[in-house]
């Protein structure tokens, strides 16, 4: 993993630099880093993470944190939205349904064809993205009220 971390850090920094809403330092056109909890100390490098969406975000972010730390790198999570958990979102909306990724997708009419054949991280990420979009739309209609003018 250590060999990809510098490239990943540069990629995320490039994304942040090119965001239309980035808070840029006018002296050198590099975004001002957002304040974060804790310091990276003597790590080899820092990865400023964008918000993460995962089906079991607590597990995935913990795994990522430990893997990166094992390579003596430091992760700095997005202060405003470090992670969003589709498992928690699904549980909040569908309290009596099974909440594993396949079950949640099926309950939301998202095609999971091929998932039974074995673990596929790319397919899981795609399913999680589809599930997030679906749940976000449901969340919006379930937890917001329309105001008549």
Between 93 and 144, the more confident residue is 93
110-132: average pLDDT: 90
pLDDT higher than 70, residue 83: yes
- Which of 77, 86, 121, 83 has its CA nearest to residue 105? 86
**Residue 21: pLDDT band with limits 50, 70, 90:** low
Beta bridge partners of 68: none
Q: Look over the chain and give the mean of its residue pLDDT values, rounded to a whole number.
A: 81
pTM for the model: 0.73
Task: Write out the H or E segment, with its range, that includes residue 105.
Answer: helix 101-107
- For residue 14, what pLDDT band results from cuts at 50, 70 and 90? confident
Percent of the chain predicted with pLDDT > 70: 79
Q: Which whole number is the average pLDDT over 29-47?
A: 57
HEC string for 4-54: CHHHHHHHHHHHHHCCCCCCEECCCCEECCCCCCCCCCCCCEEEECCCEEE
């Amino acid at each position: 993993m250590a060999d990809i971390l510098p490239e990943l850090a540069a990629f995320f920094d490039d994304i942040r630099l090119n965001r239309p809403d980035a808070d840029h330092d006018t002296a050198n056109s590099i975004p001002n880093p957002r304040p974060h909890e804790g310091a990276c100390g003597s790590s080899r490098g820092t990865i400023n993470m964008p918000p993460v969406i995962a089906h079991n975000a607590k597990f995935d972010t913990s795994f990522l944190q430990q893997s990166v730390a094992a390579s003596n790198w430091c992760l700095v999570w997005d202060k405003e939205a470090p992670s969003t958990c589709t498992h928690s979102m699904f549980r909040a909306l569908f309290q009596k349904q099974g909440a594993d990724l396949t079950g949640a997708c099926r309950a939301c009419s998202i095609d999971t064809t091929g998932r039974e054949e074995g673990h596929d991280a790319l397919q899981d990420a795609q399913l999680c993205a589809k599930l997030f979009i679906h749940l976000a739309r449901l969340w919006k209609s379930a937890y917001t009220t329309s105001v008549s003018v």
